[in-house]
Amino acid sequence: LSSFNHDELQSPGVVFMVRQAKYDAHYILTSLQFAQKLFDREGKVSAIELKLKEGVKADKVKKQLKAELGGRFEVKDRYEQQDDVFRVMRIEKLISYVFLSFILLVACFNIIGSLSMLMIDKRQDIQTLRSLGATDAQICTIFRLEGHIISLAGALLGLILGTALCWIQQEYGLVKMGDTEGSFIIETYPVSVYLTDILLILVTVLAVGWLAIWYPVRYLARKILN
């Protein structure tokens, strides 16, 4: 062991752990001077991290650094440094979206059932409207409009409740990461609300609702009106 650089590190009484096996099993955190001396790289560094000011776009800074440094250095943002973690998160998000969309599709059968019962119950009223001069297309439009109102009301109510729950989690952290305090870097499940996600949810609900309303209303209208 005499051929290896060695030195003593006096711990201040606290062993710092990240609480993630990926880091705790392979890395130790120490001062820059101690690491440089241990690896015989005094005055040298293997990486430099930059903390950007709030509002500065990381992609723009990354392009500027690549242009200045050329191919001699590798420039990565925080997402590229943890690419495997963020890839898993994106896959989980996609799978959750697909499963919830299927659940939404099943829930649309409630709308189909409600409209079917409504059209059967209002059969005499439909005949009255026809006697007053309403066309079959206008009568179908009435029931389709009611189905769209149900879908839109459900979408808006769900978005309001979901956004409220996310805000409560952000502010008060009701859902914990684990029962043991200090087991994770953060104690509560982190949540974020993005405008793009809200728009995607709204479009998905309205699209699935439209598909669930259009054909049943058209089919039942033909049966009842004929």
CB 176 within 8 A of CB 198: no
- Kindly give the residue spans of alpha helices, DSSP state H, lying in the chain: 21-24, 32-38, 58-69, 78-81, 83-121, 123-131, 136-172, 195-225
Alpha-carbon distance of 136 to 125, in angstroms, equals 13
Least Cα distance to 200 among 111, 112, 93 occurs for: 93
CB 196 within 8 A of CB 204: no
81 vs 9: which has the higher pLDDT:
81
Alpha-carbon distance of 17 to 52, in angstroms, equals 26
pLDDT for position 20: 67
pLDDT band of 196, cuts 50, 70, 90: very high
225 has pLDDT over 70? no
pLDDT band of 3, cuts 50, 70, 90: low
Alpha-carbon distance of 211 to 208, in angstroms, equals 5
pLDDT band of 195, cuts 50, 70, 90: very high
List Cβ neighbours of 115 (8 Å cut-off, separation of 6 or more).
143, 146, 147, 213, 216, 217, 220
What is the rounded average pLDDT for all residues in the chain? 81
Of 129-133, 169-173, 175-179, 194-198, the poorest mean pLDDT is in 175-179
Q: Over range 82-109, report the average pLDDT.
A: 88
Q: Quote the DSSP letter at residue 179.
A: S
pLDDT for position 58: 86
Chain-centroid distance, C-alpha 44: 40
pLDDT for position 172: 87
Neighbours of 82 (CB within 10 A): 14
CA atoms within 13 A on the CB side of 1: 2
pLDDT for position 10: 60
pLDDT band of 95, cuts 50, 70, 90: very high
CB 126 within 8 A of CB 226: no
pLDDT for position 13: 41
221 vs 60: which has the higher pLDDT:
60
All structural domains of the chain with their residue ranges: 1-46, 57-81, 82-225
pLDDT band of 12, cuts 50, 70, 90: low
Neighbours of 65 (CB within 10 A): 13
18 has pLDDT over 80? no
What does the pLDDT look like over 110-126, one tens digit per residue?
888 887 888 888 888 88
pLDDT for position 14: 40
Handedness of CA 114, 116, 119, 120 (dihedral sign): negative
36 vs 220: which has the higher pLDDT:
36
